[in-house]
């Protein structure tokens, strides 16, 4: 069968080229022969490329063309071959290669895919510059225990994002593991930025992913900046006569802290260097601050009240 043109030759590919190669070939040649390109532009060649891509990118049209050639594609398949399942109506190109070009690249500016902030490509006399914009950053909470923030650790976070395929036109969802190296002494609100790890798109810069540290509550300590607050419950007798407080630290040591002062409502015991590591210098630490909750007796007999009065009226 003699054909007036060969779509595969037009796109400079072989007859077994996969869909991705067809797209790449059209992308390259359509830009090269676009009429706006001063050096290589060709209205006729550009129109031929549009028709060739319109046929070979459509599975039904391509199947008809591969089996019956251009004559069968444009003249219709004989009735005896109708059961083959191939596209059988007469094909006629709409004649608007600009329409094909814009449908391929998307949007009103088909050259947007080929420009970046740093290096705009030049196609002959066409020197249009398109600045890609970055998607808005994505914030996620990173919940960490006080122990994590005291010792430091590494957290592995799995994200799912849209990634562009090799053809540059389609995309798929893929998983990725991000490693977050937590430094000792990080505080609530610390931000960890992974640059351009958001969804990929043909005409945009992927968003940054920002993890924000959120500190979990602890059963023994309350954190204030780099200090740790520990509340001890004591009796009235202990508050007046003295005692010792045992505190197990976050690194597993047991501190025995003597209290020889009178514990009044505003009293605090400060133990230097036993708080959280300083993020700027983890070898240094904040303070451990011990506060006290005094447990008063619910009842006192008349005799005990008298004894207390006598003791409190004693001249020191």
Q: Say whether pLDDT at 112 is over 80.
A: no
Residues 21 and 50 in one domain: yes
Same domain, 48 and 74: yes
Same domain, residue pair 87 and 13:
yes
Task: Identify which of 99, 104, 90 has the alpha carbon closest to the alpha carbon of residue 57.
Answer: 104
Both structure tokens of 11: 């796109």
- 205 and 229 inside one domain: no
Residue with tokens 């505190």: 247
* 261 vs 129 pLDDT, higher one: 261
- Same-domain check for residues 27 and 102: yes
Percent of the residues in the chain that have a pLDDT greater than 90, as a whole number: 40
Instruction: From 86, 114, 142, give the residue that closes a domain.
Output: 114
Predicted TM-score (pTM) of this structure: 0.55
Same domain, 140 and 209: yes
Give Cα separations from 74 to 2, 13, 66, 202 (angstroms): 14, 22, 13, 34
pLDDT value at 185 more than 50: yes
Least confident of 79-83, 162-166, 242-246, 285-289: 79-83
The answer to whether residue 119 sits within a structural domain is no
Write the CATH number for 204. 2.60.260.20
Q: Which of 53, 66, 266 is nearest to 45 (CA)?
A: 53
Cα distance between residue 232 and residue 226, in whole Å: 20
Structural domains counted in the chain: 3
Q: End-to-end CA distance of the chain: give it in Å, rounded.
A: 124
Residue that wins the pLDDT comparison between 102 and 131? 102
Return the pLDDT at 249. 94
Give yes or no for residue 117 having a pLDDT over 70.
no
Q: Is the pLDDT assigned to residue 107 strictly greater than 80?
A: no
Residue 289 within any structural domain of the chain: yes
Partner residues linked to 62 by β-bridges: none
Q: Would you place residue 68 in the very low, low, confident or very high pLDDT band (cuts 50, 70, 90)?
A: confident
The least confident of 31-45, 58-72, 204-218 is 31-45
Note whether 151 and 235 are same-domain residues.
no
User: Domain check: are 109 and 19 in the same one?
Assistant: yes
Between residues 135 and 6, the one the model is more confident about: 6
Residue 56 lies in a domain: yes
CATH number at residue 59: 1.10.287.110
Percent with pLDDT over 70 in the chain = 84
Determine, yes or no, domain membership for 123: no
Examine the domain organization and report whether 202 and 247 are in the same domain.
no
**Taking the CA atoms of the chain, what radius of gyration do you get in angstroms?**
38
Residue 127 in any domain: the answer is no
Taking Cα atoms as reference points, which of 192, 188, 210, 194 lies closest to residue 144?
Answer: 188
* Residue 19 and residue 61 in one domain: yes
pLDDT for res 231: 95
Long-range CB contacts (within 8 A, 24+) of 254-262? 255/288, 257/290
Per residue, the 3-state secondary structure of the chain, as one string, reads CCCCCCHHHHCCCCCCCCHHHHHHHHHHHHHHCCCCCCCCCCHHHHHHHHHHHHHHCCHHHHHHHHHHHHHHHHHCCCHHHHHHCCCCCCCCCCCCHHHHHHHHHCCCCCCHHHCCCCCCCCECCECCCCCCEECCCEEEEEEECHHHHHHCEEEEEEEEEEEECCCCCCEEEEEEEEEEEECCCCCCCCEEEECCCCCCECCEECCCEEEEEEECCCCCEEEECCEEEEEEEEEHHHHHHCEEEEEECCCCCEEEEEECCCCCCCCEEEECCCCCEECCEEEEECCEEEEEEEECCCCCCHHHHHHHHHHHCCCC
Of 215, 237, 260, the residue that ends a domain is 215
Structural domain contains residue 263? yes
Cα dist from 311 to 8, 220, 292, 305, 308, whole Å: 109, 35, 23, 10, 5
Task: Tell me which residue range forms the domain holding 73.
Answer: 7-114
At residue 258 the predicted structure's pLDDT band, cuts being 50, 70 and 90, is: very high
Greatest pairwise CA separation for the chain in angstroms: 126
pLDDT(314) > 50: yes
User: Would residue 120 count as lying in a domain?
Assistant: no
Q: How many CB atoms lie within 10 A of CB 94?
A: 10
Give the residue from 252, 251, 295, 245 showing the smallest Cα distance to 270.
245
The answer on 159 and 95 residing in a single domain is no
Residues 199 and 147 in one domain: yes
208 part of a folded domain: yes
pLDDT surpassing 50 at residue 126: no
Mind listing the pLDDT tens digit for each residue in 11-52? 999 988 898 899 999 988 988 888 877 677 788 898 999 999
Evaluate whether 214 touches 142 at the Cβ level (below 8 Å): yes
Last residue of a domain, one of 157, 180, 215: 215
């Amino acid at each position: 069968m003699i054909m007036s043109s060969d779509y595969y030759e037009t796109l400079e590919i072989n007859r077994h080229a996969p869909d991705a190669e067809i797209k790449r070939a059209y992308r390259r040649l359509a830009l090269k022969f676009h009429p706006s390109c001063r050096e290589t532009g060709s209205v006729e060649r550009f129109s031929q490329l549009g028709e060739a891509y319109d046929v070979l990118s459509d599975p039904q049209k391509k199947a008809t063309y591969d089996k019956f050639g251009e004559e069968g594609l444009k003249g219709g398949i004989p009735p005896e071959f109708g059961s083959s399942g191939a596209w059988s109506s007469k094909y006629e190109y709409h004649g608007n290669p600009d329409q094909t070009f814009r449908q391929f690249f998307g949007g009103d500016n088909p050259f947007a895919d080929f420009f970046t902030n740093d290096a705009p490509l030049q196609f002959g006399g066409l020197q249009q510059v398109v600045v890609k914009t970055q998607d808005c950053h994505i914030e996620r909470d990173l919940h960490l225990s006080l122990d994590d923030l005291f010792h430091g650790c590494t957290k592995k976070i799995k994200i799912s994002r849209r990634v562009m395929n090799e053809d540059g036109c389609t995309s798929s969802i893929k998983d990725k593991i991000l490693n977050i190296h937590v430094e000792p002494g990080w505080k609530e609100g610390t931000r960890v930025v992974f640059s351009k790890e958001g969804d990929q798109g043909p005409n945009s810069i992927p968003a940054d992913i920002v993890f924000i540290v959120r500190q979990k509550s602890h059963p023994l300590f309350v954190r204030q900046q780099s200090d740790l607050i520990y509340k001890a419950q004591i009796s009235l007798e202990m508050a007046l006569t003295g005692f010792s407080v045992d505190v197990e630290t976050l690194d597993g040591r047991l501190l025995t802290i003597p209290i020889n002062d009178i514990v009044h409502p505003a009293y605090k015991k400060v133990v230097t260097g036993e708080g959280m590591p300083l993020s700027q210098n983890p070898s240094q630490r904040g303070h451990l601050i011990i506060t006290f909750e005094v447990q008063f007796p619910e009842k006192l007999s008349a005799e005990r009240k008298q004894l207390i009065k006598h003791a409190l009226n004693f001249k020191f």
